[in-house]
Chain A
């Protein structure tokens, strides 16, 4: 059973606009969340993370928002650039655990 869900398999956005990628989780024990980015023929690479003690974490053009009551997080990319086109995976874990549970990914296409 998927504990981390990304219900949008794909998203297309115009260059310069905001990209919003969504993620839901079911396990209330999860308290650390990450986003990974994956280009074709490459492994996923870490992008940004957030701990459950926060509701927002920002790193340059990337911001992750966490809504614990809704068990929902989102990744905002502003402004979107063509180089952001990739598959984005949401992941979650519990404190003290070492494995990550991943979603199915969202393919983002930024149109020049």
Chain B
């Protein structure tokens, strides 16, 4: 298996623009997680899904953030409108039981 695949790897955008990050989990994994990495807070959980259903979105910082999982092989994290403080590396991870497998991350820079 190719592992968790994220796109884009890098995104530079201007404040106010919409940003969409994409994730393809490992086939067969029924949990999908979105994390954000910052220097101050490390890896913080934004939202996670089980069998395509959002289970806990309490980590989503604001209404500007939304996440969907229309099917077992695809998820999106959308930020609209984006702000400079959203600049971070966003990781998607999937799991079956226990261990999380992470993608390589999407580095977002909002100018």
A and B from one complex = yes
Give A residues with C-beta under 8 Å from B: 2, 6, 32, 34, 36, 41-46, 49, 89, 91, 98-105
Residues of B within 8 A of A105 (CB): 42-43
Query: Which interface class (under 10, 10 to 19, 20 to 34, 35 or more) fits B?
Result: 20 to 34
User: Knowing A43-B91, A89-B42, A104-B42 touch, does A98 contact B50 (C-beta < 8 A)?
Assistant: yes
Contact A104–B100 (Cβ < 8 Å):
no
Contact B43–A98 (Cβ < 8 Å):
no
- Chain A residue at smallest Cβ distance from B59: A99
Residues of A within 8 A of B50 (CB): 98
Give B residues with C-beta under 8 Å from A: 4, 31, 33, 35, 39-45, 48, 50, 55-56, 91, 93, 95, 98-105
Contact A44–B99 (Cβ < 8 Å):
no
A29, B101: Cα distance in complex, Å: 24
